[in-house]
Structure 1
Amino acid sequence: MDSRARVLNLLRSNPRGLRQADIARALGLSRSRVSEIVRELERAGLVRRVREGSIELVVPVDRGARGPRELSRQVRLGIVWSSEYPFIAVFAKLLRDRIGADLQVVVYSNGLDATWDLIGGRIDLVLSPLVTQALFYSLTSALRIIGGGAAGGASVFYNPRGVPGVTSSTRASTMDLCISRAFKELGYGESVRLYQARGSDIVHSIELGRAQLVAVWEPLATRLRMEGFREVATCLELGIVHCCTLAAPSDMEWEELKRLAMLYQEAINTFARNPEPWIEWYSARVGIEASAVRKALSSYVYVPYVDVEGAVKMLRDAGVSVPSPTVLREAVLEVAR
C-alpha cells in the first residue's frame, strides 16, 4: 500500500488524532517522511492539525462536512501516460458541444499520483487503474467510479538474464495485478518486487537485467517486443478485465455525475466505431507518436461500462483483499454498470 494511504488508514482508525511521532513509529516511516505526507494530506483536505495543550495531533477530516462540488467550465482530466485513452478526444468534443466545457488533459507518470490529485481537488476527473480508485474509495470515500475504459494494452515480459525472482511494476496498479496473476497462472517465483514511479523505469529494470519479470503498458510493451524480450502473456489473457476507469469526486452533484457518465459512455462508443479521426488530437496532448497510438489500437477492448462482478473476480484472483467486494460495488456508480 502507498505510504500516504497507510497514514490515512491509520488516522481513520484513530479519529481522535495521533502525533506525527506516533504515526512514524506505528508505520516504520521516518519523521521527515511523515511530515511530508501530512502536509500533502492537509493540502488535499483529508487531515487537519489540532493542538491539545503543548501536543499537536493530526486528525482525519470528515469529508461529509463539505458542500457539493460544481463542475467548472474548464474540466481538468488526469490520465496516465499511455496509448490507452484516445477516446477522450471524443469526450472533449461532447463536453464542449453539449455543456460548453473545455477539457484540459493533465498527464501523470502513474495512477497513484493522478488519483491523489483528484482527491485533493487539483483535477476534476481521473482515468487511473480501477484497483487504485477502489483502494482510495475504501480509505476516503472521496471518489466514485463513473465509467469504464479500455481492457488490454499491457503484457508481462521475461528476461532470462535478469535477477531471478525479481519483478517490477507500478504500485497498487493494473501492472501490479498482472504480475500477481502471472505468478499464479504461469508458475513464476518471486522474491522481490521493485516498485517504480514511471513506466520507463520498469522498462529500464528489465533492459538492465535488474528484474526478470515485468508488466508494462503500451507503447512501452511494443518497445520491449521490438527489443526481443519474451512476452509471456498479455494482461487480458491473465484475466485483467479492467485497466483504467473514470472516477469523479464523490462530492460532485448527482446530476453532474450522471451527465458526465452518459457523455463519457457515448464518447467511447463513438470512438470504437471509427477511431482514426481522433488519434492526432490525442497524440498531441500526451506526447506519443500518432503511429504508436494507432498501432496499439488492436490490443485494446473498449468498454464504456464497469463489469463490477468481473472486477471483483479480477481482484480476488490476484490476491487483493482490499477493498472488499462490498466496498468495490459501492464505489461504482449505478449508471456506470
Structure 2
Amino acid sequence: MISHIDHSRVIQKILDILSKNPGGIQQSQLPNLLNISRSYLSIILRDLERQGLIQRIKIGTTYIVKPLQIYHRSSDKVLRMGIVWSSEYLFLGYFVKMVKDSMDIDVEVNVYPNAIQTMVEMIKGNIDMALSPLVTELYGYILSRDIVIVGGGAGGGSYIYEIPESRRNIVVSSNVSTMDLCRYIAIKRGLIDASDTNYFYSPSEAISIAKRGLAKYIIVWHPLSLSIEMLGARKVLGCGDLEEIYHCCTLAISRRLGFENIEKLGSIYRMSIERFLADPTRFLEWYSLKTNIDISLLKKAVNLYRYDPEIDKHSLSLLLNTLSIEIPSRNEIMKAIL
C-alpha cells in the first residue's frame, strides 16, 4: 500500500519533471523516471488532470503529458511568506534566519488581516508559504490540492468574549479560521447561546463591532483581544482549552516548490520552533517591526501560547471529526499533511 508521504512524493516528482519540460513529456517515460507502475501512474495522472494541473494529448498511439499551470517565481533567491496579523509566530525570526543560512534564500514576509485572504493569496500563487490556521489550510488543500502542511506551530491565544449590554444575540468571529471553529464548538456544546453568526474581516472591523455592541459574543486572538478587554468585554472561554483546537496555526507550503525544497523547509521550520523555545525573546524586535505590534505586548505573548513543532495526530483526528467533512474522503484530506 502506498503511504500518504510516498504518494505526495510521487506527485511532487511529476510536477518537478513537468516544470522542467513545459513542452511536455511522453507518458511512457514516466514509470521508469519515477520507479512506479504504469497503472499507478495512470491513477495519479487522471487525478492531476481533474485538478487542472496537467493535460494529456494523444498523438498517434503516444500520450504527451504537459503542465497546465507553470509556476513562475519572482526570484530563486526569495520565498514569499504570508502570515495573519497576530502575536502567535514569535519563532518566525529563527525560521527566516535559518532559511537564509541553510538555503541562501531570503524570506519576504507579508502580513494579512485574516486567514482567508492569506490562503487565497497562496492558492493564487502570490505567496509560497503561509502561517495560517490549520482548519483554513485544510479547506485550502481541498479546494486546490496545491499545498502541503509540514509542521505544527502554536496553540492558544484566542478567546470568546461576552460584550456587555449588547441586545443582539449574535456571535462574530473571523471566517473559516480557528475562531470560527471555536464558535462552532462553543455553540454545539451550549457554552454560548448565540442564535446567529456574523463575520469580521479585519482587526479594526472587530473592534468597531465590539464598540457599537453589534454582537453578544466576539471571538478574537492576541493582541486584538487586549482591545476587546479594554472595552469591558468578559472572557468566557479560551479556544485553546478545547481539545479539538490543540493547534491554531501551522505552516503550509506550495507544492510548486518541489518535494525536496518542501522537505528541507519543513525540517528548518520544526528546528526553528525548538530554537525559539530555548531563547524565546531573541527576535521579538524583528517581529515587532514586521507586524507593527508593540514589543511590550510581544514579551507578554511569549507565555500565552504552547508550541509544538509537529502536527499532533490525535488532535488532528478530533478536528476532522468535528468538521464532519465527507467530501472528499478522510484519506484524501490526510494527503495534505507531510
For Structure 1 versus Structure 2, the TM-score category normalised by the shorter chain is 0.7 to 0.9
Offset of residue 170 of structure 1:
1.1
For normalisation by structure 2, the TM-score amounts to 0.76
Structure 1 equivalent of residue 231 of structure 2: 227
Structure 1 equivalent of residue 298 of structure 2: 293
Distance in 2 between residues matched to 1:190 and 1:317, nearest whole Å: 19
Secondary structure of the equivalent of 2:111? strand
Distance in 1 between residues matched to 2:258 and 2:88, nearest whole Å: 28
Distance in 2 between residues matched to 1:322 and 1:82, nearest whole Å: 31
Residues 60-71 of structure 1: pairs in structure 2 closer than 5 A = 62-64=52-54, 65=67, 66=69
Distance in 2 between residues matched to 1:322 and 1:134, nearest whole Å: 12
CA deviations over 1:271-316 (Å, ceiling 9, x no partner): 0111111100100011100111111121101111112331231243
Q: How many residues matched? A: 275
Contact 1:170 1:199 in 2 (8 A): no
Contact 2:90 2:302 in 1 (8 A): no
Secondary structure of the equivalent of 1:82? coil
Contact 1:76 1:103 in 2 (8 A): yes
Distance in 2 between residues matched to 1:234 and 1:76, nearest whole Å: 32
Structure 2 equivalent of residue 280 of structure 1: 285
Structure 2 equivalent of residue 250 of structure 1: 255
CA deviations over 1:186-244 (Å, ceiling 9, x no partner): 43223221111113322321221101111100101122233331100101112311111
- Which of 140, 147, 166 is the aligned partner of 1:143? 147
Contact 2:51 2:144 in 1 (8 A): no
Contact 1:241 1:314 in 2 (8 A): no
For normalisation by structure 1, the TM-score amounts to 0.76
Return closer, same or farther for 1:187/1:96 CA change in 2, 3 Å cut-off.
Answer: closer
Larger radius of gyration: 2
Offset of residue 137 of structure 1:
0.9
Distance in 2 between residues matched to 1:322 and 1:314, nearest whole Å: 15
Structure 2 equivalent of residue 170 of structure 1: 174
Which deviates the most, 212-221 or 180-189?
180-189
Structure 2 equivalent of residue 241 of structure 1: 246
Instruction: Determine if the alignment matches structure 1 residue 102 to structure 2 residue 92.
Output: no
Which deviates the most, 70-79 or 141-150?
70-79
Contact 1:86 1:282 in 2 (8 A): yes
Return closer, same or farther for 1:62/1:150 CA change in 2, 3 Å cut-off.
Answer: same
- AA partner of residue 165 (structure 2): R
Instruction: Give identity over the alignment, percent.
Output: 34
**RMSD (Å), alpha carbons:** 2.2
Which deviates the most, 306-315 or 96-105?
306-315
Instruction: Determine if the alignment matches structure 1 residue 263 to structure 2 residue 253.
Output: no
Which deviates the most, 323-332 or 227-236?
323-332
Distance in 2 between residues matched to 1:320 and 1:243, nearest whole Å: 19
CA deviations over 1:8-56 (Å, ceiling 9, x no partner): xxxxxxxxxxxxxxxxxxxxxxxxxxxxxxxxxxxxxxxxxxxxxxxxx
Contact 1:308 1:329 in 2 (8 A): no
Secondary structure of the equivalent of 1:236? helix
Distance in 2 between residues matched to 1:323 and 1:233, nearest whole Å: 32
Distance in 1 between residues matched to 2:286 and 2:214, nearest whole Å: 36
Return closer, same or farther for 1:323/1:189 CA change in 2, 3 Å cut-off.
Answer: farther
- AA partner of residue 276 (structure 2): F
Instruction: Determine if the alignment matches structure 1 residue 132 to structure 2 residue 136.
Output: yes
- Unmatched runs of 5 consecutive residues or more in structure 2: 1-49, 55-66
Structure 2 equivalent of residue 195 of structure 1: 199
- Unmatched runs of 5 consecutive residues or more in structure 1: 1-59
Contact 1:63 1:142 in 2 (8 A): no
